[in-house]
Amino acid sequence: MSVRRQRGFTLLEVLLAGFILFITITAMTMVYRGAILTSSKAEASLTMSAALPFIRPLVTDQIRAKTEPDGRLGAGQYGTVNYSWTAIVSHRGRPSLEMLEVNGAGDVYEYLLWNVQLTLSLNNRVEKYIFQEMTW
């Protein structure tokens, strides 16, 4: 009886090893892709959040400069961040009696409380913010 030595892998072993390698590469690609997408979203969100403290005063100035009585809207760009806003009057009022006595011309003063919806966009990412602004 002769003993034959095996000198390689069988076809089944090669196919199984190839399948395991394919599954491993596919899983690593999906993990890497997910990390890249998450990083991109986080970068866009951070860029928009960093621009917000600079955009809000611009919106406030635009609200005060416009003359429409009950609603105002506008848009602009700050760096790479595009923004648009709408403002609607939520409350009108007059100063208190103490303020009228100090200034003397209280009949001409009126304050407006605006509800402002600010929309920031960068690439395909959009973030919405809501705040209130007072003008007089």
Find the mean pLDDT for residues 17-21.
97
pTM of the complete model:
0.67
pLDDT of residue 102: 62
* Residues in CB range of 1: below 8 A, 6 or more apart: none
pLDDT of residue 29: 97
Instruction: Kindly state the DSSP code that residue 3 receives in the 8-state scheme.
Output: P
Residue 122 has pLDDT above 70, yes or no: yes
pLDDT of residue 2: 61
- Residue 118 binned pLDDT confidence (cut-offs 50, 70, 90): very high
Residue 19 has pLDDT above 70, yes or no: yes
Superfamily in which the 11-135 domain is placed by CATH: S-adenosyl-L-methionine-dependent methyltransferases (2.20.25.110)
Q: Which segment, 18-22, 62-66, 92-96, 107-111, is predicted with the most confidence on average? A: 18-22
* Residues in CB range of 122: below 8 A, 6 or more apart: 44, 47, 48, 80, 81, 82
Residue 113 has pLDDT above 80, yes or no: yes
Segment 2-11, tens digit of pLDDT: 666 767 889 9
Residues β-bridged to residue 56: none
Q: Which two tokens stand for residue 61?
A: 């100035």
* Residues in CB range of 115: below 8 A, 6 or more apart: 87, 88, 89, 90, 130, 132
Find the mean pLDDT for residues 32-58.
92
